[in-house]
Amino acid sequence: MKLYESYREEIGKILSEGVLAGKFAEMDVNYMSALIVSMVQGTIIQYVIDNNSFDYASYTERIKDQILNMVLRK
């Protein structure tokens, strides 16, 4: 529980700084932090359980792009 909390807190700090700097869109930082952790951890868990189900490098690149698309100011 503490590990996930620390992930969300650290991501939340990054997102908040980005919003304040005008680089990131206005957002619900708590929600977005939890969503990002879910995307990353969910991918890791799936890969650990079945590493033949998808190309990990390709998916992580796509996840990074998806996260940036969600948070960057348009």
pLDDT digits (tens, 9 = 90+) for 33-66: 999 999 999 999 999 999 999 999 999 999 999 9
Could you give the number of structural domains in the chain? 1
Domain holding 64, by residue range, is 2-71
Q: What pLDDT sits at residue 74? A: 85
Confidence band (pLDDT; 50, 70, 90) for 25? Answer: very high
CB 25 within 8 A of CB 73: yes
55 phi/psi in degrees, rounded to 5: -85, 110
CB 12 within 8 A of CB 30: yes
Q: What pLDDT sits at residue 72? A: 97
For residue 41, the Cα-to-chain-centroid distance in whole angstroms is 9
- CB under 8 Å to 7, separation ≥6 — which residues? 33, 37, 41
